Amino acid sequence: MALFPIFILILLAPSSSNAQWPPSPGYWPSSRFRSMSFYQGYRNLWGYSHQRVEQNALTIWLDRTSGSGFKSVKPFRSGYFAASIKLQPGYTAGVITAFYLSNNEAHPGFHDEVDIEFLGTTFGKPYTLQTNVYIRGSGDGRIIGREMKFHLWFDPTKNFHHYAILWSPKEIIFLVDDVPIRRYPRKSAATFPLRPMWVYGSIWDASSWATEEGKYKADYRYQPFVASYTNFKAAGCSAYSPAWCRPVSASPFRSGGLSGQQYRTMRWVQRYHMVYNYCEDNKRDHSLTPECWG
C-alpha cells in the first residue's frame, strides 16, 4: 500500500529535464535578419590552411602547427552579429572557440572588444560559455575583464546552436538561440565600447588560462580540435553608414531594450545557468568596474 503514495509523489515532482530549459523569450530577433554565406561577409584572417568552406558552412581547426581565424569585410558601429556554431566533443581543455567584435587592429594596445568564447573542457565536464567586454585598452596590459560565464542548458557539441551579440549605442545583449543571457547597458562612455569594430571568429590555444584557470592544457594527442560555423548574420550600421542609420533592436521595441518576457527569461538563465559574474567576485577591485555599483 505504501507504494501508491510514493508513485503519486513521483508524478507530482517537477521534472529536472524540463526545469533546465529556459522559458520562452516571446520574441526571436534572429528571424529579422537575413543569413549570408561566409564569403558574403567574411574573409580568412590567419591560418588559411586550417579552414574549409563547404555548403555555406565554415570549419576551422587547431593542431600543433596552427589555429585559424576570420574577420568581417567591413567594420560596424552597431548591429546584430551571429552565427550558428557546433563544438567538438571530448577533451578540448585549453582550446578557445570564439565569435567576437574587436577593433584591436585599428587601435592596438588601446582596443575595445565584445566576446563570446567557448572555454574548452575535460572529459565529462560541460563547456563554459564566457561573455566579456573590454573598453579602451582594458584588454591590453593590465587586463580588466567583465566576464559572465554560463553552463548551457544543452550540449553544444551535438548540434548547431545560434549565438549572437546585439550591440547598440545604449546596450550590448548576448543571446543563445534567441534567449537573452546577458545585458550590458551603457552607464557611461568610459565603460562602453563606442568606436567601430569588426566581427571575428577563431580557434586557438589558450592553455595558460582557458580551462580551470590553466590547470588543464591543450593535449595534442586529441588534435585536430574542430569548430564549425554556419548561418552567419551581420546586420546594422556599418562604419560607412550615414549618421541617420537606426541601430537594430533585440526586442519588439524599436527603441531597444528587452521586453518584460525577455527580461524574465534572462533572469531565469542567470539564476540557473550562470556560473560566474565578475560583479559578484569579492576578489576583484570594483573601483575598476564602476558599472557594478548601480
- Active-site residues: which are they? 113, 117
Cβ(176)–Cβ(85) below 8 Å: no
Output phi, psi for 30, to 5 deg. Answer: -60, -25
Cell 543571457 sits on residue: 181
Please count the CA atoms within 13 angstroms of the CA of 17 that sit on its side-chain side. Answer: 0
As a whole number of angstroms, the distance between CA 274 and CA 158 comes to 21
Widest pairwise Cα distance in the chain = 76
- Give the neighbor-by-neighbor strand order of the sheet with 51-54: 51-54, 57-62, 225-238, 76-86, 161-167, 171-176, 179-185
For the CA atoms of 149, 151, 154, 160, the dihedral, rounded to the nearest 10 degrees, stands at 40
